[in-house]
Amino acid sequence: MSLKQQASTGTEVDERLAALVTNANAIRAIASAVEGTLGPKGLDTMLVDKFGEVVITNDGVTILTMMEANHPAARMLINIARAQQEEIGDGTTTATVMAGAMVGTGVEQVARGVPVARVIEGIRAGVKRGLEVMMQKARPVADLDDSLIYQVALVAGRGHEDIATLVVQAARLIGRDKLLDRAFRFSDTVMAEEGADNQVFMGVIVNKEPMNRQMPRELLDVGVLVIDDALEPEEIEEEALATEAGFARYMELQNQFRENIQKIIDLQVGLVLADRGVHDVAEEMLTDAGIMVVQRVANKELRRVAEHTGARMIKRTGLKKDLEQIRQCLGRCRRVFHDEKLEQVWILEGSGKPMATVLVGAATAEVVGERERIAKDAASAVQAAVRGGVVPGGGALELAVAREVEKVRASMRGMTAYGVDCVVEALKRPLAQIVANAGFNPLEKIGDVMAAQVETGNDALAVDCDTGQVADMYELGVVDPLLVKTYAFKAAGEIAEAILRIDTIIKKREDKEANPKQGLDL
Q: Which helix (H) or strand (E) holds 410?
A: none
Interior/surface letters 131-146, b for 16+ CB within 10 angstroms, e for the rest = bebbeebbbebeebeb
Question: What pLDDT shows up at residue 86?
Answer: 72
Between strands 479-481 and 390-392, the pairing is: antiparallel
Report pTM.
0.77
Q: Which residues, 6 or more positions from 83, have their beta carbon under 8 angstroms from its beta carbon? A: 491
C-beta of residue 164 within 8 angstroms of C-beta of residue 378: yes
Q: What is the CA radius of gyration of the chain?
A: 29
Total residue count of the chain as it appears in this document:
522
Note the pLDDT of residue 11: 44
Residues 6+ apart with CB under 8 A from 447: none
DSSP string, 394-445: TTHHHHHHHHHHHHHHTT--TTHHHHHHHHHHHHHHHHHHHHHHTTS-HHHH
Rounded CA-CA distance 307/324 in Å is: 20
pLDDT at 12: 43
pLDDT of residue 15: 58
According to DSSP, the residues that pair with 345 across neighbouring strands are 206, 338
* pLDDT computed for residue 222 by the predictor: 93
459 by DSSP, 3-state: which?
Answer: coil
Q: Which domains does the chain have, with CATH numbers?
A: 13-139+390-500 (1.10.560.10), 203-362 (3.50.7.10)
* Residue 113: C-alpha distances to residues 11, 21, 116, 117, 254 (Å): 15, 14, 9, 12, 79
Annotate 489-509 with b (16+ C-beta within 10 A) or e (fewer): bbbbbbbbbbbbeeeeeeeee
Pairwise CA distance, residues 408 & 52, whole Å: 51
Strand, helix or coil for residue 199: strand
CA distance 427 to 76: 21
What is the structure's pLDDT at 519?
45
Q: Which of 165, 40, 143 is nearest to 473 (CA)?
A: 40
Q: Which segments within 387-460 are labelled E, that is strand? A: 390-392
CA distance linking residue 285 with residue 262, whole number of Å: 8
Q: Torsion angle, CA of 445/451/457/459, rounded to 10 degrees?
A: 30
The closest alpha carbon to 294, from 329, 354, 255, 337, belongs to 337
10-residue stretch averages of pLDDT, the chain, 522 residues long: 40 61 83 82 80 76 77 79 72 85 89 90 93 93 89 90 92 89 86 83 91 94 94 77 73 88 93 94 94 93 92 92 92 93 91 87 78 89 93 93 90 86 93 92 92 94 92 93 91 88 72 51 41
152 residue type, one letter: V
DSSP codes joined into one string, 387-406: HH-EEETTTHHHHHHHHHHH
Per DSSP bridges, beta strands 470-472 and 331-339 are unpaired
Q: What is the DSSP letter of 208?
A: S
Residue 460 has a pLDDT of 93
289 backbone dihedrals φ, ψ, rounded to 5°: -90, 0
CA distance 179 to 387: 8
User: What are the angstrom distances between the C-alpha of 114 and each of 108, 148, 162, 168, 468?
Assistant: 9, 44, 52, 50, 38
pLDDT of residue 14: 57
Cα–Cα distance for residue pair 29/33, rounded to 1 Å? 6
